[in-house]
Amino acid sequence: MASAANVSSPDKVPVLTAEVLLAHWQGHRRLTRRMIEAFPEDKLFSFSVGGMRPFSELAMEFVKMAAPIACGVATGKWTSFGEAASPKTKAALLALWDQSTEEINAVWPTIPAHRFAEVDKAFGQWENSGINTILYAIDNETHHRGQGYVYLRALGIEPPAFYDRS
Amino acid sequence: MASAANVSSPDKVPVLTAEVLLAHWQGHRRLTRRMIEAFPEDKLFSFSVGGMRPFSELAMEFVKMAAPIACGVATGKWTSFGEAASPKTKAALLALWDQSTEEINAVWPTIPAHRFAEVDKAFGQWENSGINTILYAIDNETHHRGQGYVYLRALGIEPPAFYDRS
């Protein structure tokens, strides 16, 4: 337990390093990969609730954001959002997923320290700091993956454990 | 765009301060509050898809985690998870929500800097660093709130914009 002497204003306290953030993000991405695997092939590309997009389209949104955001924060160069063609099979989607994983890991150590706080226009459209753009990508994945959990439950399929990021 | 001279290994690079993290969390919590408001009173406590919990129960899970986690990371003292009684009306749930918001804001500046990296057993059960326990609370809220978006769509109700955290 903390003593009063340990207490300091946390306003400028760094709470997260780039290393921990990458591990956090890739943990989320491993869980999302298991979600893709959990869908039956046909349902992955067709099933939805309430007129929302099937999980394959949500997963492709994550692919289109993830590595391009890591690269954009690293270099200031933004590829057009949504350039990647959509795969037609689960295997092709998973291959694209794994390629993104490698791209993120490769570009991450090249991100200049100042770029996390620096404000840039992601994809030429969304103005935010590098850290907030990365957090948005993680949040967006978590948000839509939660949607995918409902799809699986509605299909009578037990989704992967949310807390397991191994 | 970054020059090679700007590139440094980001492993130990701090990318997020306590101040930015609090703003990020409270932004998420404002969106979740709008989700609670968006549900018709009866559906908030009863509607679900795929046998999952109604949104009121998900929101109560967030309440039971949020301020107690901020306090636990600040002090090392953990209240029992799940002590709060569940409200029976939307107004009572929103009042509890706003009380949590104030509690988090009040305790946040007292979190000792070292507690974000320090490993503790949250609620006496979940061993993790302070930062990871806080990120888990945010992720869990984002995940289940995404589930709530499906409930609203299935009810034919337009959910609040995901990107708006004002």
* Prediction pTM value: 0.92
Q: The tokens 């609090």 sit on which residue?
A: B22
Count the helix, strand and coil residues of chain A and give each as a percent rounded to the nearest 5.
60, 5, 35
Q: What is the DSSP letter of A164?
A: -
Q: Is A101 exposed, middle or buried (0-12, 13-18, 19+ CB in 10 A)?
A: middle
Written as six digits, the tokens of A122 are: 């992601």
Higher pLDDT, residue A61 or B4? A61
- CATH for the stretch A23-154: 1.20.120.450
Residues of B in contact with A9 (CB under 8 A): 109
Interface test with B, best of A1, A15, A123 (most B CBs within 10 A): A15
The Cα A140–Cα A32 span in angstroms is 12
Q: Give residue A82's pLDDT.
A: 67
A127 contacts: CB under 8 Å, gap ≥ 6: A119, A120, A121
Instruction: Inspect the interface and report whether the beta carbons of A50 and B163 lie closer than 8 Å.
Output: no
Q: Residue A31 pLDDT more than 60?
A: yes
Q: Is the pLDDT of residue B126 over 70?
A: yes
CB atoms within 10 A of CB B71: 20
pLDDT of residue B82: 67
Describe the crossing of helices B55-75 and B130-154 by its angle, rounded to 10 degrees: 170
The answer, yes or no, to whether residue A7 has pLDDT greater than 70, is no
Chain A residue numbers touching B151 (CB-CB < 8 A):
150
Chain A with chain B: Cβ pairs closer than 8 A = 176
Residue A12 has pLDDT above 90, yes or no: no
> What's the complex ipTM?
0.92
Task: For residues A102 and A57, give the distance between their C-alpha atoms in angstroms, rounded to a whole number.
Answer: 21
Residue where the block lists tokens 């459209």: A125
The answer to whether the CB atoms of B16 and A76 lie below 8 A apart is no
Query: What is the C-alpha to C-alpha distance for residues A121 and B143, in angstroms, rounded to an integer?
Result: 26
Would you list the domain boundaries of chain B?
60-161
Strands (DSSP E) contained in A38-142 are 119-122, 126-129
Cα B20 to its chain centre, rounded Å, is: 15
B131/B126 Cα distance (integer angstroms): 13
Would you tell me how many other CB atoms lie within 10 Å of the CB of residue B75? 16
Stretch B5-26: mean pLDDT, rounded? 79
